[in-house]
Amino acid sequence: MNFDFSDDQKLLRDQAGKLLADKCTTKTVRRVFEGAEGYDADLWKTIAAMGWLGTAIPEVYGGLGLGYLELCVIGEQLGRVLAPVPFSSTVAVFGEAILLAGNEDQKQKYLPKIASGELIGAFARSEGAGAVTPKSIRTIFHDGRLNGRKIAVADGMDADFALVLARSSDELGERGLSLAIVELGGAGVARRMQDSIDPSRKHAEIIFEGAKAELLGRQGAAWNISIEVLNRAAILMAFEQVAGADVCLATATDYAKTRYAFGRPIGSYQAIKHRLADMYVNNELARSNAYYGAWALSTGSHDLPVAAASARISATHAFDFAAKESIEIHGGIGFTWEADCHLFYKRSRHLALALGPQRTWKEKLVTELERSNA
C-alpha cells in the first residue's frame, strides 16, 4: 500500500506553498491577530481565485472535483503559514456537512458559493464549558425557528451562515437533536466577539431569538451527522497541525545551530538535541497517522473513525509539544511578543480545542478499537 502523494499532488503542494509563502507572512498573521478584522480578506480572495475552496466539491456544484487528498495538501500548506482565513470552518466543517447531509437544493444553494469564496460558514456546537454532549444542548429548533445561545464559535463573527446543533424534540439523548442552517445576518441573530487564545481566528458568541432556519439532514440525525463531519474535519485539520509542528521544529533547529552559548552552538548540547529529537519523533508519528487518515477519507474506508481519532490525537500532541519546545529552545527571546513562537503556540491551542477536547477523542479511539476487535 502506497501512502505517498502522486506527482500531481506534490506539484499542487509546491505551488500552493510558494504562493502562500509570498502572500501570507507573519506580518499578515499579526495584522489580523492585533486588528479588528476576523480574517485576511485579500488572502481569502486569492485562495478562492485559485480554486482551493472547491478542491473536493464536485464540478457540478462549481468545485474542482479533485478529491480529499488534494484538499489535505492545501490544508497542510495553509497550516505552514498560519493562514488567518476561515478555511477549516467553511470547507472542512460547513462544506462537508452540506456534502454529507444536504438535499439537492441545499447543495445547489451553498456549495457553489463556498467554492467561489462568497460564503463563509461556521459550526455552532458548544453552549458551555466542557465537551459537547447530547445533554449539554439547550438551543431549541422548532417550527423552523432557532432559540438559544452558542459560544466559542470559530469564525462566527464573519460567517454568513452557521450550522447549529439544536434540540428539535422532547426525545432524550441523540434522537432529540437536529442540525439547522441559519443565516447569521438575518433577523433574530445577535453576535458578540469573544476573547480567544488565537485572535487570528476570531470567535463569537451567537444568540438566536426566533431566527429563521432550515433543517439539514433528517430530524433527529444530527449527532450521527456531526460525528461523521468531525471525523472528516479531524483529518483535514491534522494536516494543518503537522505542518505547524514541522515549522516549529525547523525554526527551533535553525536557531539551535546559530545561537551560541559558552562558545558553542546550543544545538551541540545534549539537552537541546534530545528536545529536537523528541519533536521530530512526534511529528513523524503524527504525519503517518495523518497520511493514514487521508487514505481512509479518500477511499471511504470503514477504518475512518479510527483513522480520524488517531490523526487527531497524534497531530494535536505533536503541534502542542513542538510549539512549546520551540519557545523553550529559543530561550528568553522565544517568550517575547516580537518573536513568532507565540503565534504557533496560540494556533496549536486553538486547533487543539476546535473539534473538542483531547480526552473526547481518546475515548472515541478506545471505543472504536474495541468495536473493531469485538
172 lies in the same domain as 277: no
Query: How do residues 198-253 score in pLDDT, each as one tens digit?
Result: 999 999 999 999 999 999 999 999 999 999 999 999 999 999 999 999 999 999 99
71 lies in the same domain as 128: no
88 lies in the same domain as 194: no
d(CA 298, CA 6): 13
In this structure, are residues 186 and 213 in contact, taking their beta carbons and an 8 Å threshold?
no
State mean pLDDT over 21-49: 94
83 lies in the same domain as 160: no
42 lies in the same domain as 111: yes
Would you say the pTM of this structure is higher than 0.85?
A: yes
41 lies in the same domain as 155: no
- Per-residue pLDDT at 354: 92
137 lies in the same domain as 65: no
Chosen domain end from 177, 199, 218: 218
Give residue 155's domain range. 122-218
Flag whether 1 is in a domain.
no
State mean pLDDT over 308-318: 98
b/e map of 172-211 (b: 16 or more CB within 10 Å)? eebebbbbbbbbbeeebbebeeeebebbbbbbbbbbbeeb
Flag whether 141 is in a domain.
yes
Query: How do residues 350-372 score in pLDDT, each as one tens digit?
Result: 999 999 999 999 999 999 999 88
100 lies in the same domain as 172: no
- Per-residue pLDDT at 7: 87
Helix (H, G, I), strand (E, B) or coil at 132: coil
233 lies in the same domain as 208: no
Q: At 269, which CATH number?
A: 1.20.140.10
Chosen domain end from 218, 253, 277: 218
Flag whether 169 is in a domain.
yes
366 lies in the same domain as 287: yes
Chosen domain end from 54, 88, 116: 116
Helix (H, G, I), strand (E, B) or coil at 167: strand
- Per-residue pLDDT at 210: 97
Query: How do residues 90-106 score in pLDDT, each as one tens digit?
Result: 999 999 999 999 999 99
Helix (H, G, I), strand (E, B) or coil at 4: coil
240 lies in the same domain as 203: no
